[in-house]
Amino acid sequence: MIQEKLTEVRDNIIQSCARAGRSPEEVTLIAVSKTKPVSAIEVAIAAGQTVFGENKVQELCDKREYFQNPALQWHMIGHLQRNKVKYLIGKTALIHSVDSLRLAEQIDAGSAKAGAETDILIEVNMAREGTKFGVMPEDAERLIRVVAALPHVHICGLMTIAPYVAEAEDNRSIFRQMYQLYIDIKDKKIDNVDMKILSMGMTRDYQVAIEEGATMVRVGTGIFGERNYNR
Ligand SMILES: *Cc1c(COP(=O)(O)O)cnc(C)c1O
């Protein structure tokens, strides 16, 4: 089941790329395994998946420790509390959810201590939802400029969590605005900033996100099935 769904998602990615005149190699699929057991992750690994997304520090570290497989990447996609940062340093390939200088400073300090550099994305609340984390789009450049000055974090791009909508098309304009912001900031050529990753699109809308320029899509339900939070 997981294997078939993974194949289906990969096929959809190829088709979305074709529609947009893009190469499928430009798009990385993150299999969002939060709440799912290691047995489900094992099936995905057997089907060739190497990049996984988690939204809790403890769960990410436990799963990483369980697999002990350097070929796997563990991405932190959820809101990150500053007091949890120290557990995450050195364990994650990319933190998608940096939205404040204070959080970036904590990651910088933890990385310095570990003699590491941590790759991050800046999370943008493009739809201005009161319930969501992320910096407002008009404040993104200012935040990026101050975070870029921290020596042990490396900004690799932008991330957004689009609204929960009935139709994927309803998020097209949000994705388009994200792509524009990404290009605008890329064009500023800020020191220590590499605008090469645009993380957007989930199960419901990743195909539209790819058409609008996503380079990373985060798909959970579409691969592993519905999550059950009451186990
Ligand atoms: C859970 C989650 C996803 C995956 O959501 P699905 O709808 O299951 O694909 C993607 N991004 C973030 C930040 C998440 O927390």
Q: In the numeric block, which tokens belong to residue 217?
A: 């899509």
- Residue 126 in contact with ligand 1 by CB distance below 6 A: no
Contact 201/15 with Cβ under 8 angstroms?
no
Contact 107/153 with Cβ under 8 angstroms?
yes
The alpha carbon of 218 and the centre of ligand 1 are apart by a number of angstroms equal to 6
How much is the pTM?
A: 0.97
Helices 38-46 & 57-67 angle (0-180, nearest 10): 60
The alpha carbon of 189 and the centre of ligand 1 are apart by a number of angstroms equal to 30
The alpha carbon of 185 and the centre of ligand 1 are apart by a number of angstroms equal to 25
- Residue 221 in contact with ligand 1 by CB distance below 6 A: yes
- Mean pLDDT in consecutive groups of 10 residues from the start of the chain, 231 residues: 97 98 98 98 98 98 98 98 97 98 98 97 96 96 98 98 96 98 98 97 98 98 90 52
The alpha carbon of 114 and the centre of ligand 1 are apart by a number of angstroms equal to 29
The whole-number pLDDT of residue 180 equals: 98
